[in-house]
Structure 1
């Protein structure tokens, strides 16, 4: 729930930014000077890139949530009994073996979005966010290719 609130706050911040930048872009575009017009065009392009990135993140989040709910309903969320840190992360010494096991499953069944998503969950719990996002992207692609 906290992540949804933070996404909402970030989206609201981006909307406010876009509104303010659009105002400045209008002022610069109507200035009539070549430098002002060039800066105005830049101020139009940058928010468009921001909107594109925000939409992509929303799509990623919705697709990932949908797959995680499905995995949860099937009872396939990893629940291994491993040592945890006080914050709930997988302990540093337990992470490599745990990740290796789920990587093996994902490699063995390379067309299974479930295996890729289970790997992502374990990677995230071990603090490997970049790898986890890549695994989630892979799971989303595999689920889409399978028509699920």
Structure 2
């Protein structure tokens, strides 16, 4: 199963769950207003708020995934993806990238990004290097910056 298919299936399950929870939250909120007491009303309001944030987070992550995929396709079409550098990194028997090799790749990509901080392509490749080095928080931040730069360059 491809990652995209799995993401859509899990998203559909989450949407169903959020819808069900929101419905129950609305019923509890209604019960709180019609004389059921303050506890069901507060619980219903809390469930609705959590449902809103869950839906917002899901939409945000799906948009991030589509934007990342769009940038990867464009960079690949231009011949600048350079994924072979990451693929050529030495790996452990379990498939993990060697940390020292990933750090060397990261240093090269960081220097490339510092040379031209307004190039979304450099930021994209930096995000891939962060990911290879298992620094996922910085990888996502660099990818979000690449997406912002791409949007401003396209506008």
TM-score (norm 1): 0.89
**1:79-133 C-alpha deviation (Å, 9 max, x unpaired):** 2243233455431121111100000101110000000001112222232222211
Change (3 A) 1:113 1:87: farther
Change (3 A) 1:110 1:127: same
TM-score (norm 2): 0.85
1:11 is aligned to 2:11:
yes
Q: 1:39 aligns with which of 29, 40, 43?
A: 43
Q: 1:133 aligns with which of 110, 117, 140?
A: 140
- The aligned counterpart of 1:69 is 73
1:143 is aligned to 2:147:
no
Instruction: Provide the rounded CA distance (Å) in 2 between the counterparts of 1:135 and 1:17.
Output: 32
Unaligned 5+ segments in structure 2 are none
- RMSD (Å) for aligned C-alpha atoms: 1.8
Instruction: Provide the rounded CA distance (Å) in 2 between the counterparts of 1:88 and 1:139.
Output: 27
1:114 is aligned to 2:124:
no
Q: Count residues with an aligned counterpart.
A: 148
1:136 Cα deviation after fit: 0.6
- The aligned counterpart of 2:89 is 82
1:60 is aligned to 2:67:
no
1:48 is aligned to 2:52:
yes
Instruction: Provide the rounded CA distance (Å) in 2 between the counterparts of 1:120 and 1:88.
Output: 20
Unaligned 5+ segments in structure 1 are none
Change (3 A) 1:82 1:40: closer
Q: Which moved more, 1:77-86 or 1:127-136?
A: 77-86
Q: Secondary structure at the match of 2:81?
A: coil
- The aligned counterpart of 1:91 is 98
Q: Higher helix share goes to which structure?
A: 2
